[in-house]
Chain A
Amino acid sequence: MTNLADLSLADAVIHARNGGSAALLEACLARLDAVNRNINATIWVDREAARAAAGLADKATITGALHGIPLAHKDMYYQAGRRCTCGSAIRRDFVPDVTATVIERLSKAGSYAFAGLNMAEFAMNPTGQNKAFGDCRNPWNSDYITGGSSSGSGAAVASGITYASLGSDTGGSIRLPASACGVTGLKPTQTRVSRYGVMPLSFSADNVGPLARSTRDCALVLQAIAGIDSKDPTSADEPVPDYGAALTGDVKGLRIGIPSGALMDNADPAIQAAVEQACAVLAANGAIVRRIDVPLMDAVWAYVGIISRVEGAAIHGRWMRERPQDYAPHLAARLYSGSAVPATYYIEALSRRGPILRRFAAEVFGEVDVLAMPTIPMALPTRASVDIDVYAAGGGDEGTVARFNAISVNTRPFNYLGLPALSVPCGVDPNGLPIGLQLVARPFAEPLLLRTGDAYQRLSDWHTRRPFRFGA
């Protein structure tokens, strides 16, 4: 018999609809108590409020698709009157007076939040490490990074603490922990999901999306949160399709492109092999897989770092003047360097985003439907080998910064381009840590992306593997 904490979100929904919300919550809390000492995935847990919400759900009329589902999210989604640390010492006691639209939408769908999850400080590193609250640790092996910045989301979903979790993604922060922790993560198209009430890092590149234990579960969460929001003028007025209906399992004729060049060829051989094997599985079921040249990557690389650097530096300017000592050393150092970039560079980088996207889409998505490549192109590093705060304090070696930057080399370009991207588990590296397959599609092609990821998960079992085994 399956432990309730290990149910898929889709199965948990069925259980909750039969009056099982309280049982689901207790299973998640029991799992938290069993594993959290080893992984440090949470910043706060509100058991009392969650038990009250579960009790109400079990007595209430079912109105939403996520009725009675306990969820835990990265601790950067504002809930009026509830502490929200943003993973930082600076906001350790911050209590917002507004509630994020995505939290309201999940609540309207019937779910309730019971914990705030660990994260990189202010969502600003790809390793997930955190000096203020302690590193979140990979549930597969605590010596290794979880990926970041949504570190707690990746670790908690993998461990069975929560059925799904909202992460945020400015340069890979959903996809990287999904890859490193062996779960599924979706960065939607830029503008697809409201960011109102979400801690900003980079206005132009921030995205909200789900991490869950399958593509199907990600589709359930996306269905609840996607769509225009009058409180977020950057949210798109695009119809929200039925994401569940897209999950047909059919990949016959689907054109998959593996990029020639750095996105694939610079990856470790074992990582390349896992991605090629995943594509071969899809090809054996009717997909057409080929290599494809990806244009303009030098331009994308030149511009992508400029935008997030400058916007982050501007957002944090006041605190950098008043209390720089309260940041982790590496974060203060990175924010400082962002203050040096001329405004003309920033405007140029922004102004070329549209033209580059148009040409990229024409040349790539005129030839293939989906791009496939590694999410993280290297064997997962240990926390010690990429501890950039040790480096900032004068320790570590000169390779620390290079390894730190290499983690997100395959994810950042798609934030600049605004494209939807999905990471699904597709193997394990030589150290036994998960490998992620990143799939990328046209703007607003989430249905296609989810169909591809779901089809792969019907044909493979990597997404079903868990770091811990518990009885019922």
Chain B
Amino acid sequence: MEFVEQTEAAIETWQAIKPPNRAALKFVADLAAAISAFEAQRGQLAFEDEPSSFEAALRETKA
């Protein structure tokens, strides 16, 4: 099954949302690039054992 069709089916199954127009499927196809960029980061940074506290990082890195 093609990526777009797979994704369309998953969205309908999980969220009960149908593609609102043709462009929606174009944007779904463009997610392939987002996936590639995301996967390229695998192994670059470890997933933190504890949930990361972004707010703590803001405080730690202030002047």
A residues lining the B interface (CB < 8 Å): 189-191, 204, 234, 236, 238, 298-299, 301-303, 305-306, 317, 320-321, 324-325, 327, 329-330, 332-334, 336-337, 339-341, 345, 348-358, 361-362, 365, 391-394, 401, 418, 442-445, 448
B59 touches A329 (CB 8 A): no
A261 to B54, CA, bound (A): 26
Task: Give per-residue flags for B23-63: 1 if the beta carbon is below 8 A from chain A beta carbons, else 0.
Answer: 11011101100100110110011011001111111111111
A301 to B36, CA, bound (A): 12
B62 touches A333 (CB 8 A): no
A401 to B63, CA, bound (A): 39
Given A299-B45, A320-B20: 13 more A-B contacts, CB < 8 Å: A303-B38, A320-B15, A320-B17, A330-B23, A333-B21, A336-B27, A336-B28, A337-B31, A348-B38, A351-B47, A352-B45, A354-B54, A354-B56
Majority secondary structure of chain A interface residues (helix, strand, loop or mixed): helix
Q: Whole-angstrom distance from the CB of A332 to the nearest CB of chain B?
A: 4
Which residue of the partner chain B has the closest CB to A353? B54
A324 to B11, CA, bound (A): 14
B18: A residues at CB distance < 8 A: 324
A391 to B27, CA, bound (A): 12
B residues lining the A interface (CB < 8 Å): 7, 10-11, 14-24, 26-28, 30-31, 34, 37-38, 40-41, 44-45, 47-48, 51-63
Q: Whole-angstrom distance from the CB of B52 to the nearest CB of chain A?
A: 4
Q: Whole-angstrom distance from the CB of A312 to the nearest CB of chain B?
A: 12
A341: B residues at CB distance < 8 A: 31, 34
B58 touches A191 (CB 8 A): yes
Q: Whole-angstrom distance from the CB of B8 to the nearest CB of chain A?
A: 8
Which residue of the partner chain B has the closest CB to A237? B59
Given known A-B contacts A330-B23, A340-B11, A356 and B45 have beta carbons under 8 A apart:
yes
A104 to B34, CA, bound (A): 40
A306 touches B55 (CB 8 A): no
Choice from A303, A355, A394 contacting B22 with Cβ under 8 Å: A394
Given known A-B contacts A357-B61, A444-B62, A336 and B20 have beta carbons under 8 A apart:
yes
Given known A-B contacts A320-B20, A337-B24, A345 and B61 have beta carbons under 8 A apart:
no
Q: Whole-angstrom distance from the CB of B20 to the nearest CB of chain A?
A: 4
B58 touches A190 (CB 8 A): yes
Given known A-B contacts A320-B20, A327-B20, A337 and B30 have beta carbons under 8 A apart:
yes
Choice from A302, A337, A365 contacting B37 with Cβ under 8 Å: A302
A391: B residues at CB distance < 8 A: 23
A301 to B38, CA, bound (A): 9
Which residue of the partner chain A has the closest CB to B44? A299
A362 to B17, CA, bound (A): 43
B57 touches A353 (CB 8 A): yes
A393 to B10, CA, bound (A): 24
B31 touches A340 (CB 8 A): yes
B11 touches A339 (CB 8 A): yes
Q: Whole-angstrom distance from the CB of B16 to the nearest CB of chain A?
A: 5
Q: Whole-angstrom distance from the CB of B50 to the nearest CB of chain A?
A: 9
A324 to B57, CA, bound (A): 38
A253 to B18, CA, bound (A): 57
Q: Whole-angstrom distance from the CB of B47 to the nearest CB of chain A?
A: 6
